[in-house]
A and B are shown apart, each in its own frame.
Chain A
């Protein structure tokens, strides 16, 4: 005789449980945490390196970098002045999970004020996994084309902030950052938007000012 067993359980419950525990621990140690996501090549590492150069004098910044392979990015961010930088190589997995963050946090120094998690470059999967962060940021680059928000709405809706990067290429690409902004707001009207060129420094003061404001803020 068959019978029905009630379960009512989230499939990613394990990830959510670990993420909740992480969030609690981050709050206890007064650590502001950002999860930054983008497609490969949007400029996450360059943006973060420039951000660290501007802020590392006043804030101890820790970085967790996710990539399929290599520790290339962690080295760049350490050289830029990150207080702590660690690379997670997922082998092939397309997103970071809370368990991975919890494992590397055992190695994190006490002194950190800000933790930035650079997720795997992918516009689909990372959106599904809570890492215990306070803020989820999407980085889009003009080079991707302004159709991306509508093509990958899940990611743009999962974030509360958007950085539109590579604004120095507006003329070369014949794409306006304002048009990218309009498209993104059609997908998620609640997005707060920064426009930056990590290369020329345009817009970096506003972005870095916001990052600095997260430290010591109530979460």
Chain B
């Protein structure tokens, strides 16, 4: 729901980094987004397309790598990836608390 403000923050970092690097144009931006970060990838891409207009990243493509939260079951010791709407261990049914998956960062960008 706040993808637009995330896209704006992202744009600020891109512009700063491009300036520091002396780049003429940003071609591609590689992001990592966790599945518990509360960010919808498609929506973030749409917002990015809006905020990038007229900037150094005007033609840049946003590539989003999704990482997943994991959980370790206290009951059976099973380790597994957790989706937003998953609340129980798939093996034994114990309630689990996910860890991680809250990533929201820029890895790198391709420039020329």
Least distance between B82 CB and chain A CB atoms (Å): 10
A interface list, Cβ under 8 A from B: 1-15, 93-95, 122, 124-125, 127-128, 150, 153-154, 157, 185-190
Question: Using a CB-CB cutoff of 8 Å, which residues 14-63 of chain B contact chain A?
Answer: 17-18, 21, 23, 27, 31, 36-39
Least distance between A211 CB and chain B CB atoms (Å): 25
Least distance between A150 CB and chain B CB atoms (Å): 7
> Sorted from nearest, which 5 A-B pairs have the closest CB atoms?
A125-B2, A7-B106, A2-B112, A10-B105, A124-B1
Main secondary structure of the interface of A (DSSP, over half): mixed
Q: What is the interface residue range for chain B against chain A?
A: 35 or more
Contacts of A125 in B (CB 8 A): 1-2, 38
CA distance A1 to B104 in the complex (A): 29
For residue B10, CB closer than 8 A to chain A, the reply is yes
CA distance A52 to B2 in the complex (A): 31
Contact check, A122 vs B1: say whether CB atoms are below 8 A apart: yes
B interface list, Cβ under 8 A from A: 1-2, 5-6, 9-10, 12-13, 17-18, 21, 23, 27, 31, 36-39, 84-85, 87-88, 95-98, 104-112
- 23 pairs, A vs B, C-beta closer than 8 Å: A1-B112, A4-B108, A5-B108, A5-B109, A6-B107, A7-B13, A7-B106, A9-B13, A9-B105, A9-B106, A10-B104, A10-B105, A11-B13, A11-B104, A11-B106, A12-B104, A93-B5, A125-B1, A125-B2, A150-B85, A157-B98, A185-B95, A189-B95
